[in-house]
Every structure is written in C-alpha cells, then in structure tokens.
A and B are shown apart, each in its own frame.
Chain A
C-alpha cells in the first residue's frame, strides 16, 4: 500500500509537466489580443501596443514563454498577471473561497444525495422513488441561473434570511445558499447512482444471506447494502470534487463569490497563461489526490480489491 501511494505521488511529475505545457499551448491558440483589448473601441497607438507586448513578454513565441515560466516556477515564482499582480496572490485569494464553497456543496450532495438515493432504492417503484425521479428531472432541467434567481428571491428578497449576494466570500454561513445551488446537479447524480446501486445489490446473495442469518435490518442496510453500493457513488464523488474545486463561473457570478471560477474566467479572458497554469497546476494536484483517495476507498469498501 505504501509503495502504491509513493508511485502515485511520483506520477504527479509528468502530469504536472504535461498539463502546464498543454495550457500554454492552448492559451497560445486562444483568439484575440488581450493587449489590444485594453483600448476598447478606441484608437490604438501601434508603438505603445508593441512596447506593452514586449514588456509583458508576449512578443516571444509561446514555447519560449513556457520555458521562461517553468524556469521561474522552479524558483518559486508563479509569475505576474497583466495587471502586475503576483499570480500566487491571486491563487491564495481565490482558492480558500472555493475550497469552502466546494466542501459545503460536497457535504450537501453526499448527505442529501445518499439519503434520498438509499430510500428511493429501498422503496423502488413506490411514490418516494417516483418523487426522487421528479426531483432529479427538475434539478437537471432548471438552469443554474434560474435556480439561483429562485433561491435569491425566496430566501433573500422575501424571507430576508440572508443578503441576496455573498458580502464576505470567506464567511461559511453566507456560502450556504450558493453551495446549495452549486451542488444541486451533482445531487441528482448522487441520488440516482445510489438508488441504482442499491436496487442492484439488494438482490445480491450476501444480502439474502445476511437477512437469512437474522441480522438486524439496520445492520444489513448499513454495513452490507450501503457499503457495497458505494463504489460507483464514490467514483462519481471523486470526479465531482475535482469539478467543484475547478470553480463555478455561473454560480459564483450569481452570488458574487470571488472564487477560482471567477479568477479563471478573467485569466482566460486576458489570455494569461501564467495565471491559468497556476490554477490548473493546483487543481490537477487536487484531482490526483482525489483519485488516489478514491482508489484507496475502493479497497476499503470492497476488500477483494487489492493494490500491489
């Protein structure tokens, strides 16, 4: 197990190199000139344009920009944005916000999703199951901005429990509403995955055996049924945690949360290779950690799965 984990950690190196390289190449492929866009509709002075591009290092070919970036990175320098801010500052500002928001949404979809899915699976074909299907359909077909709009209208404008937008992005209490919106679509996935898995396993031999043995219901469901049904759910949750950490441009915009989604959006808009790479490097580390944890959980949930 220890070797497995170390091997996994070593794999991060090629992933890191591959990702940053790919990002720089893609940024190079982005259309438009962000320096030109600084002037808006107005006239541009070509000499000034050239001088600013040179100053930002944008007059060099993209692979040279990449090499410069990597060189600086090994000295702990993440580079600067077009507005002359340290990329590291931008990351350390946005990341804690997104971590909070993502974890809230994550807890919400696990607790609610697994519970709903479990009962829907146990009562397959009953009204609770059908209700779950309708809920799923609603969550899938209501666009996120509309869901946000409804939440804001109900909880902020009418009930006045909260302010319509998040006034302080670091305040967990204020992030609850955006987290509910953010986690809603994943909730649909988790609930349906759990339900299907339960329905499938409820007829498995070991459940029949456990029931025949006269084990208490609670124990059958808890230790046997739920545990064995969790593998697809855990897989999904592993990918979803990564997706949540990648930031949610739409949800963040609705609630004026200043997280990774917002920062990435601006960076992409300005073709800022260094900023995008900085974020993506951090995100890929999160994905790698998440998939490692998922793989370790497989072994916990199903003892037959072994890693050499």
Chain B
C-alpha cells in the first residue's frame, strides 16, 4: 500500500505543478534563466510503453532500458560524456584483463532497505545468464567462465551458477573470464550487470511489474499505456544524487503530440523532436532547444553475400556509390540538420574514434563516383534497392540518398520499404537482401570495438552485410587480446582502415540529439547516447 499512497502523492504533485504552469504561463518562451529550485519537484519525460517487465537483463529496447537504468545501478556506469565511473564498485582490479577482483563500497542499499552485497551481484548475473529465465540480455554474460553451463546452445542448463563468479565476502567477489577482454569494465556499465535484491528471486514475474533496485530513483507506479512514475531515493549512495523529486515517464505514441505538449509546457523534457517540427524547433524553444551529437551511426550496407558484389573490383563500385551521396546537402535539407555527415564507421565520442577514416570516399564527388563505378565494372544490373523499415521514419532520407545516387551516377536506385522493423529484420537476418539495406548502430559502450567487431567481424551476429576480411579479423583478434583498453582501441582503429578499402557499408551520418525542455525545468543536459541526465534536472520553484 505504501507504493500506492506514494503514487497518489506524486500524481498530486504533478497535478499541482501542471495547474500552476497553466496559470502562470504567459506564453513567454526562452525565459529559462536559473530560478529558485524545488528539490522535491517532479518532472515529466516523453516515453513509450516498455515492451518487457522492468528487469535489468530484459531491458533491450530504449523505453524500458532508460527507466531500468534509473532504477538500478551496477558496479560502474557512464558519465554524461560516456566515460566509465565507479558506482557500487570501490575498485575493480586486474592484471591480465581476464581475472578481476571487485571491491564494493559499503552503504549501498536497495529500495527495500536491504544492503547491496557481493552476493546480490553474483546471484543476479547467474540468474540473468540462465537461458531458462528468458532474459533478452543473457548473452552479455558470455565472457564469464562457465557461461555455457547455464546457457548451452542446445538443451537445458547443467547448473545454475557460472564457475567464473566467486563471492569472497560481503564486499568482495572475483570474476574469471574465458579470455582477456580489455574493455570488460565498459561492458560492466551496461544495466544488465546490475545487482538484484533477495526479494526478486521469490517471484521474478511479479517483481518485473514492481521492481526494487538500488538506483537513484525508486519505483512508484506503472499505469500501463499512460505513465511510469519514479521518485528519488533519499538513501541513494551513488555520486549522482538526484536534484529533483522524481520523474514521470509519460507515454506518447507519436512524437509530434509530445512536441506540442512541450511547447505548451504540459510536458517537461522531450526525447526527440519529431520530423515535422525539426525545422522550427529552435525557433519555438529558443535556448531551451538541445542539439548535440549522439553515439549512434546510420549506414547503408551491401549484401556482400550476393555473388555479384563479391568480385575484388566491386569495392571500387561501392566506394563510388559512397561518393555519389551528397551527405552535406541531405543532412541540411531533408534531415533538417538532425544528423551530422559521417566520415568514419565509429561515432565521435567513442574511445578510439578517429575523424576521417573513410577519407575521400565519404566526400561528395559525382565525377569521381562515376569513374570508380566504371572502373569496378559497374553496378550489377545498373540498379540498387535499399531495404528499410517503413515504421522508422527513414523514407525521406532513403529517397534523398537514392536521388543523389541516381542523379550523380545514372545508376537507378529505389527504396524498398518493408512494413515494420521486424519484417525488415527478418529479411536482413535471413540474408535475403538483393543489393543494399539500411543498417544502424547505437553504441552499447563507448569504445570503437563495439562499432567494429560486433558489426564487421566475420560471423559476428550483427554483421548484416555478411562481410568477411582476413585482415580485419586478424587485427580485431589482436585487439581483443590486448590487456589495456587504449591498446585495444588503437588496434581497432587500424582495423577500421580496412573498411575504407572494402566498403562493406557506406557510413552516412551520425545521429544527433534534437530535443528541448519546458519552462518548468532547468539544467537539462543530455548524455552521449541521447538520454537526459535525469538526476541533474532541476524543477523550478513555483
């Protein structure tokens, strides 16, 4: 019942806040100078209904993921620039990048008051990795020794504990990996590695509707299809103590509806500005508009598994096609400046990002493009199609890219929309694409390895292009064995140059965070993957 009464309290607070804005808003936008702050103030954020119960290892999609990340904190997390920082961990020590000793800080508690111990982590990871528990993120634990025992490729698990995890005492445990992973600490920042309280294991399904974590916010209520409400946790022991009283994740099915609410101060923080309002949002919002680069990239990839794309010379054709795309104009016009032209396969901000690895091949040059395409023997059938999902707002830029290719090279180019993401995905994973497909990558952790090995390594499961390069794989293997993350990043940077030579995917642009906030809040910043820094948001005093 405690949860319910809290929910009422928060809802009442929101109602009061809304009523107050309705009275006070004189229509003056841009008056976001710092005023008195209400530390108990609650703000609303544009969200959508999470697909899965709110459990750390089940939060793959964005909506559930960002809420779970406020409810849970693991050993480390990322600061707004994407650098890892210790949270529950006091230190994580290793000499060989394979064996780790973790020391926890004391004083961390779950929202039900029980302490966060080494056992909370080990139990959580063992449970989440178990194939029987059907957690989407289960394969995040695959580096840990003994993973295949709880998560065999076929059949039932032989045990429910991974041999690589050992509890020493309440504040110490050890991790043994199957091999060195120099950026394991970055991986640990992923929310799947959060601890779980004892109460979780009594009824996981019920828990997912009413989660208890150790993060800066505690769960208050989940009104399906309407809102999820969190309140700040006053015993939170992390470095990022909330400066507000809570968050209401308000459910919107259409981004332009959320935008209209933001402009009229009915909503406080926006996720992304919808395409219709991109051209004018800076005008509408003044200095409350946000525009910054995000750790995500948009590519179009070739179906390298089709015989007609496999010849050695075809690399020239692919490079030519890349040069036929006028990225600058398209991002400025069709995309209203919501993307930044790409010149590499790794988004800026990630460790190991190097500008210009794509070189001249990412610069618009119709004459050179034609030349290269001819030198490579031309495009098969002189026609390409780009498979994409129609429910993702991609049509405009796919059409623009095709126009650009058609007009600068004479190669016919058509968008090939599939009704929804799952349908497009089905065709792509079954390797049934005939020439090209839209691919995108949002970083899991801020290291170039994530953009490269997971997407272009031979047989990597996100390698939609079916690309395979012995040189790339060799460098990647070396990079994975490196014992420091800087070394790894360096070697991957070398591997990236191979992509420019083979061009299995054409980098188009990096995503940007185009967002904004209402007159009710201030100090709204966004991190490098486009989420607001929730804990820093300040609600103005009424």
**Which residues in A have some Cβ–Cβ distance to B below 8 Å?**
31-34, 36-48, 51-52, 55, 82-85, 89-90, 93-94, 152, 156-157, 160, 163-165, 167, 169, 252-256, 258, 262-263, 265-266, 269-271
Contact = CB atoms under 8 A, between A and B. Distances in A.
Contacts of B424: 32
Interface of B: 18, 49-53, 60-61, 131-132, 134-136, 138-139, 142, 151-154, 205, 208, 224-226, 251-254, 256-258, 260-261, 263-264, 266, 391, 418-426, 429, 439-442, 444, 454, 460-462
A82 B208 CA distance: 13
Contacts of B142: 45
Contacts, number: 142
A41 B439 contact: yes
B60 A39 contact: yes
A304 B153 CA distance: 73
27 contacts: A31-B426, A32-B420, A32-B423, A36-B422, A37-B422, A37-B425, A38-B60, A38-B61, A42-B60, A45-B138, A45-B139, A45-B142, A48-B138, A85-B224, A94-B225, A157-B260, A157-B263, A165-B261, A167-B18, A167-B266, A169-B226, A253-B253, A253-B254, A258-B225, A258-B226, A262-B253, A269-B422
Contacts of B260: 152, 156-157, 164-165
Contacts of A164: 257, 260-261, 263-264, 266
Contacts of B420: 32, 269
Nearest to A256: B257
A46 to B, nearest CB: 7
A42 B462 contact: yes
Contacts of B444: 42
Given A38-B51, A38-B52, A84-B205, A33 B257 contact: no
A43 B266 contact: no
Contacts of A36: 422, 425-426, 429
A263 B441 CA distance: 29
Contacts of A271: 422
Contacts of A165: 252, 257-258, 260-261, 266
A83 B136 CA distance: 12
Contacts of A55: 134
Nearest to A44: B461
Give the one of B49, B138, B251, B260 with max A CB within 10 A: B260
Contacts of A94: 225
B223 to A, nearest CB: 9
Query: Which of A34, A89, A271 has the most C-beta atoms of chain B within 10 angstroms of its own C-beta?
Result: A34
Contacts of A82: 51
Contacts of A93: 224-225
A183 to B, nearest CB: 19
A41 B426 contact: no
A37 B154 CA distance: 21
A31 B419 contact: yes
Contacts of A89: 224
Contacts of B205: 84
Contact of B462 (A43, A46, A47): A43
A139 to B, nearest CB: 22
A43 B460 contact: yes
| 7 tightest A-B CB contacts, nearest first | A32-B422, A164-B260, A43-B461, A37-B422, A32-B423, A45-B139, A253-B254
A46 B153 contact: yes
Contact of A255 (B18, B257, B423, B441): B257
B136 A84 contact: no
